Structure 1
């Protein structure tokens, strides 16, 4: 679900592209992003306390509502410069005012912010709304990266569409979830071994949630995906261009599918890449994800055994992971890079390794990085697996937005230590090495004691009257398990699953030649999906 893989060079001009993934991993902030934290925080804080910039400075009214029968007219988007450091002039930002609670549209307001890069071609199809996933992933950051030269989007997408990066409510430049950084940074085990450790976990979760409510206000109880989907409809109407074009990765697929259920007749194209199935119970979600994660770890070990370019070639990778986890459980392994930079923990536990190793499995292009990271941990430097520390209430990397959204969308059955132990046994049955470690486990354990209500629990989708919707998923995705995509295709009467026979999380941001990405591009341009049952080998 959670995306935005923060690589060390992601936001340096000319740096590597930031991939997407369900987990937000511990990575040092890029220089440009770190320099702009104050500006971003000021922008987001203003959005919390003042009317949306577009509403305050714009009197234009969008005409799209009248054309599409979408309801009353809304204020049009007013595009201005973006608050990111050194952002080029062609990157434009806009905000709209939305109800905190859509059931009470005249009540308190929040803002939702987007940015835009115009199409490079002379005859664009229209605009394409983009959500990178998460939850907690910032679409505006992705577009900022694109504007700074990272080339995250395909040439075809850039040619034919004005790309619009979305920061859902609670995230990034939109009205953000704000939490006490000391509580965000407090170290507690998500795998408690006794009652005292379990109580520390639940107490931290409750205190953290209470701090988020105190600092965020009523928005904290309304950051669920249904509310975000209703915001997306208001954005579509404010844009004034007719029906929606949408590309959602990972958690973005849940946001897109929710929109399709609410507004099926207002879609032109919708591509869901890396399918998240919100009809599953949270324990079932954990079992599916941890199994997919362990499968990817096994395949990584097989690659290292076959390929002499792997720095761990000749090493039993599974045994190495086991040994590192056991060692770090006895005595945390130092993270000297974190000690130098000060933005991540200076030591790494066994569960840090298990939870964060998943991030380096998300993309096959990073296999070499994972091998080096494991080798360095064996040599006493586990910096690559260290969790990030929050520098403030709405830190761009370490913040409470993901957990706040997850705890409203996914109920946890954990009330006692015995509940957590039963789930741990379920995880061990699905993945003996990992034993449940995954982002889904952070929901099961991290939402125990969370004070905000579950307002959008899992349930079957009911979508009628939508145009063809394209779903793509890899057979060996370590994050969004392939069976979830099969289930989503069955749940969407107009859904068509194109399978990528291979490894890695999502397909659209893959580097190099990719027939799966080409199929997404063709669909977004023409509205035509590949035939049902299509399988690509990329």
Structure 2
């Protein structure tokens, strides 16, 4: 409340050009029943050539106690393509202890959520469309948006954060970044080191990481899951040939797609579905992100191997390929990755990364077909500066895209960092076990070492053995 009252009185002179905050107003966003504060800020479309502007949506969840600290926590969502407002449901769970004494600020990154979302809605037949049909729809949508995609970079988004900080009247801030948000948080800290009190990075993207090149990490996560099933007496008894079944499915679909006729999981109407290698591998990779979701994978693989594809198709439809109603902004994702990552994906890196992995070159190079349509210039890679602010790095040992080794690579460019690893965690571990308490402890004393033995008490979810769901 304090910061929003200040924001309503600010003028252009109080922040970078075009940072004029409209008075905050009460708002209700999906994921919470309480009233929050929302406002819009005009930020330069191009921070290097001020002129045209875009409207940025900002949500503030005021601290629950009147004696709030002056250093808020800014939340940066992942993707790229997720919006800060997508994290609202975490306010009363993961960040409840932090919010007791600090304002929490959520920014819908340019091109996401309520900040001019770059949106490609799924077609009417998205769940049964072929790969070529999906690609054509996405290309047509990208062309139809008619946007200057080269201005939707990590650097431009980082400069937006500084506009928000100044407009709300905050001094130094704390920043939590999850997944891609960890890259954005690092970029902001390097651009504005005097504005950052501390960083909390969950699912850490290393500065030199080429995001599409994730085959090695994906295979490591799958191997760990298969081993856990083999080591679990009940899972091993239910699925004794799990690895060979997966290998057989992958090999079969690599040769040719499988045409399926089965009841639609939602309507029960008979429909035809083409299960391609691309769809199969993509679904498996997506499932591995969540430690809880991944415990369903042995059942899904075994069922598919026995030609009972309905459970696998139902799960595949949750994250069907290029777009999803109400989901992340795919064109924003492409704007960032096609400019900052794909140009660094050399043939040598691709060959090294995919060697021995179920995630092969066709899946990884798929994004290149859309990058051609985006037509954004490459953003040159620069050797990162050392981050002086205290940093808390968090990783899940079973993360298929940003495992602990990525956090360690990022740590080389940090002066004061500590790294917590959840052995039974996947991608994003902030909500797990005692981690919310550790977040609050770190923010209160960023320079002090954390006692994190409690993370070893976080159990692994049980495996799903049949259609009834996970074991009790």
Calculate the TM-score normalised by the size of structure 2. Answer: 0.80
Per the alignment, in what secondary structure is the counterpart of residue 373 of structure 2? Answer: coil
The Cα of 1:94 is off from its aligned counterpart by 1.8
> Any stretches of 5+ residues in structure 1 without a counterpart?
1-53, 190-196
Q: Are the counterparts in 2 of residues 499 and 534 from structure 1 also a CA contact under 8 Å?
A: no
1:193 is matched with none
Whole-Å Cα distance in 1 between the matches of residues 383 and 455 of structure 2?
28
The Cα of 1:135 is off from its aligned counterpart by 0.5
Per the alignment, in what secondary structure is the counterpart of residue 261 of structure 1? Answer: helix
1:335 and 1:146, CA in 2 relative to 1: closer, same or farther beyond 3 A? farther
The Cα of 1:309 is off from its aligned counterpart by 5.0
The Cα of 1:61 is off from its aligned counterpart by 0.4
1:361 is matched with 288
Q: Paired residue for 1:449, among 359, 372, 376?
A: 372
Per the alignment, in what secondary structure is the counterpart of residue 412 of structure 1? Answer: helix
The Cα of 1:441 is off from its aligned counterpart by 5.0
Per the alignment, in what secondary structure is the counterpart of residue 471 of structure 1? Answer: strand
1:530 is matched with 449
2:160 is matched with 231
Task: Tell me, yes or no, if structure 1 residue 316 matches structure 2 residue 247.
Answer: no
2:339 is matched with 408
2:25 is matched with 80
> Any stretches of 5+ residues in structure 2 without a counterpart?
459-472
Which stretch has the larger CA shift, 81-90 or 112-121? 81-90
Q: Are the counterparts in 2 of residues 119 and 161 from structure 1 also a CA contact under 8 Å?
A: yes
The Cα of 1:501 is off from its aligned counterpart by 4.1
1:487 is matched with 409
Which stretch has the larger CA shift, 310-319 or 110-119? 310-319
Whole-Å Cα distance in 1 between the matches of residues 235 and 410 of structure 2?
36
Deviations 1:338-369 (A, max 9, x none): 56399x99543222121221222223233333
Q: Are the counterparts in 2 of residues 140 and 165 from structure 1 also a CA contact under 8 Å?
A: yes
Q: Paired residue for 1:520, among 413, 430, 439?
A: 439
User: Any residues of structure 2 matched to 1:9-408 within 5 Å, and which?
Assistant: 60-61=9-10, 74-76=19-21, 78-82=23-27, 84=29, 88-105=33-50, 107-125=51-69, 126-143=71-88, 145-146=89-90, 151-179=92-120, 204=135, 208=138, 211-218=141-148, 220-280=149-209, 282=210, 285-287=211-213, 289-310=214-235, 313-328=238-253, 329-333=256-260, 336-337=263-264, 340=267, 346-378=273-305, 379-381=308-310, 382-386=313-317, 387-388=319-320, 395-397=326-328, 399-408=330-339
1:188 and 1:155, CA in 2 relative to 1: closer, same or farther beyond 3 A? same
Q: Paired residue for 1:468, among 390, 402, 419?
A: 390
Deviations 1:314-342 (A, max 9, x none): 33222222233344443145674456399
Q: Are the counterparts in 2 of residues 139 and 166 from structure 1 also a CA contact under 8 Å?
A: yes
Task: State the Cα RMSD in Å.
Answer: 3.9
Deviations 1:34-89 (A, max 9, x none): xxxxxxxxxxxxxxxxxxxx9xxx862079x86xxx75794345322446469634
Aligned length: 442
1:184 and 1:256, CA in 2 relative to 1: closer, same or farther beyond 3 A? farther
Calculate the TM-score normalised by the size of structure 1. Answer: 0.71
1:178 and 1:251, CA in 2 relative to 1: closer, same or farther beyond 3 A? same
Whole-Å Cα distance in 1 between the matches of residues 169 and 65 of structure 2?
20
Whole-Å Cα distance in 1 between the matches of residues 111 and 65 of structure 2?
33
Whole-Å Cα distance in 1 between the matches of residues 155 and 237 of structure 2?
45
Q: Are the counterparts in 2 of residues 496 and 532 from structure 1 also a CA contact under 8 Å?
A: no
Whole-Å Cα distance in 2 between the matches of residues 210 and 340 of structure 1?
28
The Cα of 1:453 is off from its aligned counterpart by 1.9
